[in-house]
Structure 1
Amino acid sequence: MNRKLITILTGSLLCSLPVLADGGPQPPSELSDPVALVLLTVAGGLLLAIGVLGNAVIGAMDIFREKMKNAGDKIIMTTGILLLSCIGQSAFAQDAPVTGNTYFTHLSDNSFYLLISVIMLELAVIISLLFLLRYLVGIKRKRKPAKAVVPGKKRVSWWEKVNNTKTLDADSEAEQDMGHDYDGIHELNNPTPPWWKWGFVFTVCFGIVYFWRTEISRSAPNQLQELAMEEEKAAIAKEIRLKNAANNIDENNVKQLEDPNDLAAGQKLFISSCAPCHGPQGQGVVGPNLCDDYWLHGGKINEVFKTIKYGVADKGMKAWEEDFSPKQLAQLASFVKSIQGSNPPNPKEPQGVKEQ
């Protein structure tokens, strides 16, 4: 009887196990993927559990054989074993789907779904073995007797159940006292909540996978690489923001620039475009002297910016808004303001109204 059962169980398990098309191991590139390692570890653990449960089922056969009294029990046992075999074979009756994209892993779709199918198959086998073992040993669920209500006993809240703790009064504290006294402070038996312990286990597993991906397989960036990528993105965003802000400058919001780079850029623009009329040092030629305190169209930064931008048609000064960007106009206006009071040689006589 035992030999027949062993033969049936072994045949059902062997039929349910997947066989690779090439008969060899997975490619090294896929085995190095952390998702593949996790799935293979889970599959191996479940396979070990199947071996333990299978051994227990075989041992329970001796107990069950003594309890069998008629052929009906034999038929039920044979039907359960055949169902277990059918579950194992039907799990791979169809090919694994190849549609979709497992974007979180480098595994191919066939390999990923194959491993998932193996794990699901092993779970189905374990559940079947548990039900079969329960039937063989004749386990029956026993109802728990109703708890008697103790007068004056406090009701345990759901939060205390989650944390596996309870509120203690003065009488029950003595039962939980661990005997450690520190300056009158007694240590009670208050273990760490289960959710905290499992959270710690999860962080350890996450750390192992993270270390493997970032430092060993190099399939994901580490913290320093992520920081460098974020800084690069921030620099690009800053450059775009400054460029857009520079293009939004007009005579209403212009500010006088004091950065040496901006003044040097404004000086180059002045020498190349404004020096023929105002002189290379702003002393004035055809146009007025820009170094004194007298101005024809206003000497404030927004007024100088407006004069350069729109020009003065009746004085022969062109509008430069088509030639220079708003940022360049601000640099040019700031340079003009910076040379005020510089007293260059051979200055032109003052023109306009003195700036207050």
Structure 2
Amino acid sequence: MTHLNRLLALLKKKPKTWLTLFGLLMPAVGFGQDASASSATSDSPELLLYTAMALVVIVAVLVLVVALYTLTIIKVIIRKEKVSERADQGLTYEEGPSFWTRFNQKMTDAVPLEKEDAVLLDHNYDGIRELDNHLPPWWKYMFYLSIVFAVVYLLAYHVFDTLPLQEEEYQNELAVASEEAEARKLLAVNELDENSVETTTVEAELANGKNIFEKSCAVCHAADGGGGVGPNLTDVYWLHGGSINDLFKTIKYGVPQKGMIAWQATLKPTDIRDVASYILTMQGTTPASPKEPQGDPYEPGAAGQESGN
């Protein structure tokens, strides 16, 4: 009778074995159904990923348990068959060492207690004897592996320069951090609007604002801000508010009913900020031909003087 036939015969005699196998597999099936139901009602991809990973791990563990259980049954059947065969031959069955025992012996090269006399040295220290044991093979293998690692490390880092040293890694990290900072800065610039704008004092940005003002705004407000078609920008009177937020909003959206065009399609948000900041630097200056005051006086921080009024 083959081992498979013996296994089938054993399972027929012991139906509880089948029930055990089904009992091990049923939680996986039930968990799979629960996971499917929960995933159907969830829109989170992370939750779906974690659920799938948990299901895979649980099923893998259950399959491993079932496989070990099956192997144990097969091992018992084979052992019984060998015992029966030896009994028919009038011999006693002696089971050899297990795989783990053989593996442990090979890795440690330990001398059995009954054979320690073969490695016993003549040294005697207050009754303490010394054994001439060999180094464990696992230790020697690790030592050889460290030598190989050292050679590979030396070639990779110091001979062929295929991998960066710590200083180069540091510089690379700085470069990556700089790129990320520029990306965040660009994102902040793209999100710049009349609510988040702040007055700039950077010389280059104010120079950019002056250049834009002289090219695009001076025709209506005069190069010195004294006014012409447009109002005077050097006094404290404003038609649409005198804060940086108000100026940004006025330049961005324009005042169509009074002939001022919207510049949001022509100027970038940073350019509008630069022009508005430059205009604020003209406060208190003396233009050649100042236009009469228009609007209401604006004092920064005064009660009732809020952005957009």
TM-score by length of 1: 0.42
TM-score by length of 2: 0.49
